[in-house]
Amino acid sequence: MALDQAQPVSPGPRQSVTLDATEAFRLLGSVSIGRVVFTQHALPTVRPVNHVLDGGDVVIRTHEGAALTSRSRQADAPGVVVAYEADSIDPVTHLGWSVVITGYARLVTDARELARYRELLHPWVGGAMDYAVRIHPDLITGIRLTPAAT
């Protein structure tokens, strides 16, 4: 396997600007794919998933054998602690944003809610995705990467 010999283009100095929670959540709603972070066997695990926002929560679809399905099902109230990250960073200019929410994930058990999420959220991986997990954010943080002030 050959390594890519192209040298990355230096985008110049950048600065990180903190976003308020409202702007961070708005940006999260502007993309459909992110990464859910949870623990599995006492170690951090990351899975790319697609999402929808619903009433201030993030909702993802999952399947029977998924670790997050199992963890969410076994969790006591208020749920299992997770983080959810999404971003949009240009690979050439390295400008963009990143948002992380931290909160509790719970398996959606209401049949009408679950049916609605099946209509709204179409997973991009194959197989049956018969479950949905709702993540209620307790903490929303975000940054915007901008050119450094000169």
What does the pLDDT average to over 8-33? 89
Q: What is this structure's pTM?
A: 0.85
Residue 21 lies in a domain: no
Residue 67 lies in a domain: yes
pLDDT at 94 over 60: yes
Residue 9 lies in a domain: no
Alpha-carbon distances of 130 from 34, 56, 87, 119, rounded to whole Å: 19, 22, 26, 12
Would you place residue 42 in the very low, low, confident or very high pLDDT band (cuts 50, 70, 90)?
confident
Residue 4 lies in a domain: no
Residue 141 lies in a domain: yes
Report the pLDDT value the prediction gives residue 62, as an integer from 0 to 100.
85
> What's the domain range around 76?
27-147
Report the pLDDT value the prediction gives residue 1, as an integer from 0 to 100.
46
Residue 19 lies in a domain: no
Number of structural domains the chain divides into = 1
Residue 109 lies in a domain: yes
CATH of the domain at 123: 2.30.110.10
Would you place residue 116 in the very low, low, confident or very high pLDDT band (cuts 50, 70, 90)?
very high
Give the whole-number percent of the chain exceeding pLDDT 70: 81
